[in-house]
């Protein structure tokens, strides 16, 4: 397929953006829940990954040291996991002040009720009692996130299920923006001309697909209609007008992103509950072999196996859940049979597991050493990321400022 978008740098063909709140060292829950996917996405997309340290402040404004320290730790963890600075743009949110500017500008058109009804806002206000979250910053959390995303005119946003509502708000805000600022008379006239210039057959198919998308939410209809436009050899500006027509808004100034919700198995912690810092049941991405094996040694097992020759049942044992993730079929068979017949002891079983986990994490540690030993390398990565992100951010903001009458 030859898309015409390559002529314009404004609308990237496929771009991914995601961020993580600064919140301490990362563990395997973060790896399986997000990072592993980030690493994979680098293969086929242009990816932007950033530390959302301003978002960290919305809940940790009273602990600036936590926000500051987690920033660098998180970056090294990403690089350790395989986020590749040669392929992806890696940066820190607060180094791109344009995020704050876009946040402010978008706040002018964002109805208060959209923010007040965000499920995460309501839930967290109720759940988190030890912090005062009745701040302006906390209410604006999803809007700042929208600015992060819309800034880079991204197509895909890989996030967990819990973030789906934020991506939905982001789409609503983009729609509203394009509707308000992308509907001047010149644009409307041009749209008329463009629609008239489509051939009869093409026009018919395009309109049918568009209707099926707008009236029934048919996503494949949307994809087909979009494909027709991308293959139409349009001038980049015209393409933005037509794509906006497809969304029934106005000319596309801020493209509508889509959530890429990962379906990940929840990584269990070493005690079988969900892995979480607050339960103290984590294995960190950069734990040493010693630390890993120590943590695995004390994992609880099937309570029925008190003595070495008591038979057990893997289904009642958190160690087994880990074998399911880390071990191959042969090992799993060895565990299942050996546990049920008391042919193996729990320590043998755990030793095999820790060997596997250590082997998986060895490359993480190797990649991390480069950056731990030489901070200048990390600074270089960030400097590169800052430069590329700023360039993209300015492209969007130039348009937004001009359209909102503050471009002088």
The answer to whether 319 contacts ligand SF4 (rule: CB under 6 A) is yes
* 320 scored as a contact of ligand SF4 (CB under 6 A): yes
Examine residue 389 and tell whether it contacts ligand SF4 (CB under 6 A): no
Among ligand TRP, ligand SF4, none, the one that 314 touches (CB under a kind-dependent 5 to 8 A) is ligand SF4
Give the CB-nearest residue to ligand TRP.
Answer: 19
Residue 357 contacts ligand SF4 per CB under 6 A:
no
Q: Which two tokens stand for residue 185?
A: 């008379």
Q: Is 346 in the site for ligand SF4 (CB under 6 A)?
A: yes
Among 16, 26, 47, 52, which residue sits at the site for ligand TRP (rule: CB under 6 A)?
52
Is residue 102 within 8 Å of 147, Cβ to Cβ?
yes
Nearer to ligand TRP, 158 or 312 (CB): 158
Residue 302 binding ligand SF4, by CB under 6 A: yes
Provide the 10 A C-beta neighbour count for residue 400: 23
Give how far Cα 161 sits from Cα of 167, 256, 258, 365, 372, Å: 10, 18, 13, 29, 33
Burial class, 345, CB count within 10 angstroms (exposed 0-12 / middle 13-18 / buried 19+): middle
Size of the site for ligand TRP (CB under 6 A): 13
* Four-CA torsion 116, 117, 123, 126, nearest 10 degrees: 50
Name the segment binding ligand SF4 (CB under 6 A); options: 79-87, 128-136, 297-305, 370-378.
297-305
Region from 185-193, 258-266, 346-354, 383-391 binding ligand SF4, contact rule CB under 6 A: 346-354
Does residue 305 belong to the site contacting ligand TRP (CB under 6 A)?
no
Distance CA 374, CA 366 (A): 13
CB 306 within 8 A of CB 293: no
Using CB under 6 A, which of 147, 167, 339, 382 touches ligand SF4? 339
The stretch among 3-11, 143-151, 210-218, 288-296 that binds ligand TRP (CB under 6 A) is: 143-151
Strand 15-21 to 258-261 pairing:
unpaired
Q: Is 83 in the site for ligand SF4 (CB under 6 A)?
A: no
Using CB under 6 A, which of 60, 103, 305, 356 touches ligand SF4?
305
> Would you say 166 or 323 has its CB closer to ligand TRP?
166
- Draw the binding track, 12-51, toward ligand TRP (x: CB under 6 A; -: no contact): -----xxxxx------------------------------
In the bound state with ligand SF4, the residue whose beta carbon lies nearer, of 148 and 302, is 302
149 binds ligand TRP (CB under 6 A): yes
Residue that is written with structure tokens 């996405």 in the block: 41
* Residue 155 in contact with ligand SF4, rule: CB under 6 A: no
The reply to whether 286 sits near ligand TRP by the rule CB under 6 A is no
Q: Which of residues 155-174 bind ligand TRP (CB under 6 A)?
A: 157, 159, 163
Torsion on CA atoms 139, 141, 147, 153, rounded to nearest 10: -130
Which residue's CB is nearer to ligand SF4, number 152 or number 320? 320
Query: Can you give the length of the chain in residues?
Result: 408
Q: Where on the chain is the footprint of ligand TRP (CB under 6 A)?
A: 17-21, 52, 55, 145, 148-149, 157, 159, 163
Q: Where on the chain is the footprint of ligand SF4 (CB under 6 A)?
A: 301-302, 305, 312, 314, 317, 319-320, 335, 339, 344, 346, 349-350
């Amino acid at each position: 397929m030859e898309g015409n978008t390559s002529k314009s740098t404004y609308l990237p063909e496929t771009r991914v953006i995601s961020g993580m709140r600064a919140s301490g060292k990362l563990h395997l829950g973060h790896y399986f829940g997000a990072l592993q996917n980030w690493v994979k996405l680098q293969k086929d997309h242009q990816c932007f990954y950033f530390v959302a340290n301003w978002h960290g402040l919305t809940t940790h404004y009273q602990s600036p040291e936590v926000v500051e320290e987690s920033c660098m730790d998180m970056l090294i963890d990403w690089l350790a996991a395989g986020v590749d600075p040669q392929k992806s743009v890696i940066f820190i949110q607060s180094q791109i002040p344009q995020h704050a500017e876009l946040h402010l500008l978008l706040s002018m058109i964002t109805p208060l009720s959209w923010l007040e009804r965000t499920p995460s806002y309501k839930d967290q206000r109720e759940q988190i009692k030890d912090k005062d979250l009745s701040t302006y910053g906390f209410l604006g959390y999803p809007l700042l996130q929208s600015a992060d995303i819309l800034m880079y005119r991204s197509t895909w946003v890989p996030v967990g299920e819990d973030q789906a509502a934020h991506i939905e708000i982001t789409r609503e805000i983009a729609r509203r923006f394009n509707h308000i600022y992308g509907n001047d008379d010149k644009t409307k006239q041009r749209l008329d001309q463009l629609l008239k210039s489509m051939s009869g057959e093409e026009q018919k198919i395009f309109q049918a697909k568009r209707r099926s998308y707008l009236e029934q939410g048919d996503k494949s209809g949307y994809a087909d209609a979009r494909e027709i436009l991308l293959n139409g050899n349009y001038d980049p500006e015209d393409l933005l007008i037509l794509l906006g027509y497809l969304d029934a808004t106005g000319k596309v100034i801020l493209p509508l992103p889509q959530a890429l919700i990962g379906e990940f198995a929840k990584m269990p912690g070493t005690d079988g509950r969900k892995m979480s810092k607050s339960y103290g049941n984590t294995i960190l991405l950069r734990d040493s072999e010693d630390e890993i094996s120590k943590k695995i040694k004390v994992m609880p097992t099937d309570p029925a196996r008190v003595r070495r020759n008591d038979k057990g049942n893997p289904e009642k044992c958190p160690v087994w859940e880990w074998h399911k993730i880390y071990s191959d079929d042969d090992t799993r068979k060895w565990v299942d049979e050996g546990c049920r017949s008391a042919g193996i002891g729990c320590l043998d079983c755990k030793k095999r597991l820790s060997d596997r986990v250590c082997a998986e994490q060895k490359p993480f540690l190797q990649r991390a050493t480069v950056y731990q030993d030489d901070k200048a390398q990390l600074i270089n990565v960030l400097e590169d990321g800052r430069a590329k992100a700023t360039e993209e951010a300015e492209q969007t903001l130039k348009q937004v400022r001009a359209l909102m009458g503050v471009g002088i």
